[in-house]
Amino acid sequence: MKLLMVAVNTVKPASISVRLHVMYMHSASYRHRSGKKIMASHIVGYPRMGPKRELKFALESFWDKKSSAEELEKVAADLRASIWKQMADAGIKYIPGNTFSYYDQVLDTIALLGAVPPRYNWSGGEIGFDTYFSMARGNASVPAMEMTKWFDTNYHFIVPELGPDVKFSYASHKAVNEYKEAKALGVDTVPVLVGPFTFLSLSKPAKGVEKTFNKLSLLDKILPIYKEVIADLKAAGASWIQFDEPILVMDLESHQLQAFTKAYSELESSFSGLNVLIETYFADVPEEAFKAVTSLSGVSAIGFDLVRGAKTLDLIKGGFPAGKYLFAGVVDGRNIWANDLAASLTTLQALEGIVGKDKLVVSTSSSLLHTAVDLVNEPKLDKEIKSWLAFAAQKVVEVDALAKALSGAKDEAFFSANAAAQASRKSSPRVTNEAVQKAAAALRGSDHRRATNVSARLDAQQKKLNLPILPTTTIGSFPQTLELRRVRREYKAKKISEDGYVKAIKEEISKVVKLQEELDIDVLVHGEPERNDMVEYFGEQLSGFAFTANGWVQSYGSRCVKPPIIYGDVSRPNPMTVFWSSTAQSMTKRPMKGMLTGPVTILNWSFVRNDQPRFETCYQIALAIKDEVEDLEKAGINVIQIDEAALREGLPLRKAEHAFYLDWAVHSFRITNCGVQDTTQIHTHMCYSNFNDIIHSIIDMDADVITIENSRSDEKLLSVFREGVKYGAGIGPGVYDIHSPRIPSTEEIADRVNKMLAVLDTNILWVNPDCGLKTRKYAEVKPALQNMVAAAKQIRTQLASAK
């Protein structure tokens, strides 16, 4: 078995597009050549895929057995070395280590603690690639672990499965190995660990103990392993350790905060001789959590998100403990807009007066994992828009520039260029469209509900569509083959003509339609062969959007997305999908779904302008999608799916802010389809989030049918219906996980459908996969869909004979 070890490689540091100041630092501060003492700087974390997605391609080659574990490890080691050197060359003092991952940092912590679910038959020892990737992706015999959204981001983490009988052990030495690897390259890193409190809080109880088990009761079992890791890191020479505890920004009860305090009090004896940083991010830290974390005696430093957590600034001003370091997250780790350096410097100067010059560290608001990697890879991006942006590499330079400016060694030219870019963005005529702003403002006078209730609409739709009970469908996309990607790539590069491109895409749609007819699927899709990404495809056809060539961001595992940049007011100049949907419908007599991405998902999966409220931008997108929905209906498309996969992930982390968000998000969805006829069936789709707490808002969306991820999350969705929630619209909880190569049997799918029928009426249940099939291979898709249809038919027969 190949172990999850790391190799030591010496590589040349990758370039950063903004000029670098080579300043290797060996103390909390150092002296600039001017003689001024420079403030310390810190990066919470850095993208791990590489500037050209090197890790993605290495992983997929390894999974396909086209390359060896050693070749994968070599790519990974080169990326790590490049990132560490990059930050060192940029002058960053506190460089994060152990933020690299082959899949996910929470999965890495599962491996660290040996918390492998029994179904993977792990026999102990150092966890290797086989066990690690089986937990992430499943294998031929067992499904993958559940995956869900990391707080309110589009990054997905593997959810730990824990119960009272879990036997923890120190089963992955990745953290200490990577520290030693960096040290051998001359870079002293700050090892980063997912904190014990966040790890347990984000886990789920194992099957059978869901309602009785207190996850935090496991603190006493995992803290000894954390102590072993700390001891190993200390022995290797680490002087700082960073514990990520983002759960502290959530609404926590007093017993949870007591458990947090107890955990770090227990670890305190291990901290002797170390500086310990507790890092929080993504929102304000509530006052009680602020008190808890700032009161820890064994903790040297605390990091706060001061971009999304502006209220935390008031708490700091109200009292920050003397002697502790404040890691001030003033450079946005979640978005791609250039920092307003002058404003950030003012904030830092105010903080310096509170905590003292030697105790203030300039930092990012969160890990830069959630941003694109480097603007240097965007030579074709519009120059004016490019001047408004900062990707991860540029944010590293911004942090360093602020640290120097705070010390009196301000780079006046750099700050002047930044101020000019800020002014350009505010005054640019390409940002504002008065007609769009007026139309969006007018929306607030109505709730935009369809005139007829959903049960009456479903009756009208059934008369027109004549579907069987338990109708089968898929979520939208079909496998994107290498040939298909080649065609799109060559068309974009103008190597093939528009006629040649249209011919190739029509041929692909025809294949997908015929396959679905052969499989006897009831409501078809065209497979989306013309689409690169479900958000980017639409953004490319809407005004107010800009696009990158290499602005990739990790979503999960090797899956990366390239979020569009919304820089201005949004409108739809021309129809976007009508031609392809009409073409597909002409190939079959069965209903063909028109496939759209909803306004909330386009918003949440883009880099959004930060110069107006998010809801205003969302209303603008909703109006553009509304135009498209109505054009599809006019073209004879009777079933239209408006995906809102990201509705849940945009939910604010604090409960007090939920109602406002859900009100405008649900309203935005209703705007898109409020004008269609009763006979037009509106579907929506959601995936990979916990929906139970927003089920009433989902109902309020008033869609005719919702398809929703269910199988990978152990059918948690069904529990809400068992608890008495009544749902009258059509619903299709996913019957199998498409993010795993595993092919479910007919019996397994039938068992899932029967569980659904125990809590849902027969006449509203649909049968479908969890999500789109874009990332799968046809060798997996065909048998899986065949088994899905067979299961639906089997249960239809059983239901008919039971009458």
| CA–CA gap between residue 592 and residue 582 (Å, rounded) | 9
Chain mean position to CA 484: 26
Q: Which two tokens stand for residue 766?
A: 């649909």
Structure tokens of 127?
């966890």
d(C-alpha 401, C-alpha 331), whole Å? 11
The rounded distance, in Å, linking the Cα atoms of 394 and 271 is 34
Say how far apart CA 639 and CA 642 lie, in whole Å.
Answer: 10
* 8 A C-beta contact, residue 650 and residue 568: no
Q: Is 448 a catalytic residue?
A: no
Burial class of residue 597 (count of CB atoms within 10 Å of its CB; 0-12, 13-18, 19+): buried
Structure tokens at 199: 């790890």
40 touches 407 (CB < 8 A): no
DSSP secondary structure string for all residues of 166-235: --------HHHHHHHHHHHTT--EEEEEE-HHHHHHH-EEPTT-TTT--GGGGHHHHHHHHHHHHHHHHH
Residue 157: is it exposed, middle or buried by C-beta count within 10 angstroms (0-12/13-18/19+)? buried
Do the Cβ atoms of 357 and 384 come closer than 8 Å? Answer: no
d(CA 175, CA 6) in angstroms, rounded, equals: 10
Terminal Cα-to-Cα distance of the chain (whole angstroms): 54
Using alpha carbons only, give the angle 126, 128, 132 rounded to the nearest 5 degrees.
115
Residue at 677: amino acid letter: Q
Beta strands 204-205 and 161-162: pairing type? parallel
Angstrom distance (rounded) from CA 484 to CA 505: 8
**Residue 249 near residue 280, CB atoms below 8 Å:** yes
Secondary structure (3-state) at 322:
coil
Catalytic entry in 156, 173, 667, 739: 739
Active-site annotation, residues: 739
